[in-house]
Structures are given as structure tokens and as C-alpha cells.
Amino acid sequence: MRVLSFVLAMLMSLPALAEPLQPREVPPEVFLDRAGMPEFVLQSGLIGLTIGPLLTSTLFKDDVRQSSGLILGPLLGVGLPFLLKHNKPIHVAEAGLYNFMQRLGLLNGFLIPQLWEEDNERIITGVPGLFALAGLGAGIHLFPQSTLTPGQISALSSGIAFGGATGLLLLTIADTFPDTRSEASATALLFTNGGALAAYLARDLFDIGRSRVILMDFGGALGAAVGVGFGFLLFGKDNNSQLMAFSALAGMYGGLAGTYMVTENQDEFKRSADETSAALQLEGPTPTLVSSIDPKTGRQVMGFGLNLLNGTW
């Protein structure tokens, strides 16, 4: 009976020995976290479908060889993640960083040759593909030192989109548009990369879940549409492109701010963290072993009891 009581008490107390680790913190030999693999494979396939033809068009003059990129690009994009990450963990944040760096490289690869108004087709098609591959390499190099969460990485992509939209609307409000390809490229580079940089610098201020970032993206786009609608309502026939751009800009940032406030309780990980970090936590009674002295023999004996006051201070 005493042995049975001891085993029961140990089993009941095991969950309280340590807090459960997050998947990213669990050693691979305990739990192989591959939650990021599906989205990494999906985007790598799409990126491969994009840069495959670009690179083959750069390397070959033969039309048949150039078209091979349409087949080989997505196949390599899907296959290489499985080969490189075979039996290895790939966290959601890791996949998100790789995907973001590929998109950032591809975008900058399209824009940078236009800074000098490049006309060589091989350079125009080759640079985006090379930059996308370089972005993936940079992501692989940076991830071990990265502490970004999936939500923070998603916010970087949102920064590119809303930064570019902000630049376009501000230019419309100022009624100033670039006259040359180089000016347009420089402006796009400034606002898109500036938006991503702003999201990175504000990462600790807006440390939120990825689902909440997606909701904010939707709220910003919806807010821009609502702003345009109110612009037509307020200005009527007197509306012009500057007023509409101002209304859209105000609506976009109003939508972002409004969604951020409305979705304040959407961060499940923060609620769980707040609950587990309370100053005082009381738990239910748990079985425990109790030692006592037998008054007849004077020997110490073990017995079964309940711990009524159990918790964390």
C-alpha cells in the first residue's frame, strides 16, 4: 500500500515539476518541430516558378532551354526544402524569415536595375532571381541569431505593403510623380524598404501574434476603402485625386489603429503568459507522502496524505 501511494503521489506531482517548453525551445530529439514546413514549401514553389524562368532566360538564348525554368523552378522550389530540412526542425518563425527574405530580395532585384534605367534584358531578368536566392541565403544565416516571433516577421511583410501604399498616396497628395524610371524606382525602394525597417524597429512595441497582424492588414485595406467612400460622401463633385488620396491614407491608418485596439485580446500567448506569471497561484490538493513517528516503536513511518495548500508564490 505504501509503494502504491508513493507511485501515485509521484505521478500526480510530475506535471508541476517544470513549465512546458514552447516548440522552438524543445530539443529536436524530444520533439521535431516542423510546423513551418508547409508555408516554406508553398512559397518556395511560387518563388521557384518566378525566378526559374528569369534565371534560364538570363543563362540561355535557346527558347527551349529558357522555358525549362517553368518546370525546373517550381520543382526545385518544392523539393529543396525537403532535402535541406530532412529530419530537421523548421519553426514557423524560421519559415517566415526565409519567406520574407526571399520576397524582399525579389522586390529589390526588380527595382535596383531601374535606378540606372538598365536596358539589358539579361540583367533585368537575372538580378531579381539572384537577389531572391541571396535573400534566402541571408535568412538562413540570420535565423540562428534571430529572436523575432512569427508575428513580428509577418509585420515586416506588412510594412513593405503599407509602406509602398503610403508612398504612393503621399505622392498623389503632393501631386508629384517621378518623371523617370530611376526616380520611380528610388521612390519605391525608399518607401517599401522604409516600411519594413519601421516594422522592425517597432517590433517590441507591437509584439503581437501573427493572426492579429493578418487582421490588421485586412483592417488597413478595408479602412482605405472606407476612407475613399467617405471622401466621395464629404466632397461630392468637388473631389479630386489629392482629396481621395488623403481620405484613403487617413482611412488606412485609421483601420490599422482601430483593428489593433479591437483585437487586443486576440494574443493567446500573452494571455497564457499573464496567467502563469501571476504573483500568487493556488492549485488544487495533490497527494503527497507524509512522514511521522510511531509512538509505540519510536520508528519513522511513511503515510499517504493530501497537500491542501499548493501553488506558486
Average pLDDT of 277-306? Answer: 54
Q: With 50 as the cut, is the pLDDT of residue 277 above it?
A: no
The answer on pLDDT for 33 being more than 50 is yes
pLDDT for residue 276: 42
* Mean pLDDT computed over every residue of the chain: 81
Classify each residue of 26-39 as buried b or exposed e, where b means 16 or more C-beta atoms within 10 Å of its C-beta: eeeeeeebbbbbeb
Query: 289 forms bridges with which residues in the sheet?
Result: 304
In this predicted structure, the answer to whether residue 11 has a pLDDT above a threshold of 80 is no
pLDDT band at 237 (very low <50, low <70, confident <90, very high): confident
Quick one: what percent of the chain has pLDDT higher than 70? 75
Q: Mark residue 18 as left, alpha or beta (left: phi above 0; alpha: psi -120 to 50; beta: remaining).
A: beta
* Contact (CB, 8 A) for 179 and 124: no
Structural domain spans, the chain: 33-146, 147-266, 279-313
Whether 9 has a pLDDT exceeding 80, the answer reads no
Q: How confident is the model at residue 289 (pLDDT cuts 50, 70, 90)?
A: low
Mean pLDDT of the 82-94 span = 88
Residue 24's pLDDT band, with cuts at 50, 70 and 90, is low
Number of H helices, E strands in the chain: 11, 4
Predicted TM-score (pTM) above 0.85:
no
Q: Residue 95 in 3-state DSSP? A: helix
pLDDT band per the 50, 70, 90 thresholds, residue 13: very low
Please name the amino acid found at residue 49.
L
Task: For residue 153, give the C-alpha cell.
Answer: 516577421
Q: Checking DSSP bridges between strand 281-283 and strand 310-312, what pairing results, if any?
A: antiparallel
C-alpha cell at 117: 534605367
Q: In 5-126, at which residue ranges do the beta strands (DSSP E only) sit?
A: none
Instruction: Specify whether the CB–CB gap between 90 and 33 falls below 8 A.
Output: yes
pLDDT at 312 over 80: no
pLDDT at 254 exceeding the cut of 60: yes
186-236 confidence digits (pLDDT tens) = 999 999 999 999 999 998 877 788 889 999 999 999 999 999 999 999 888
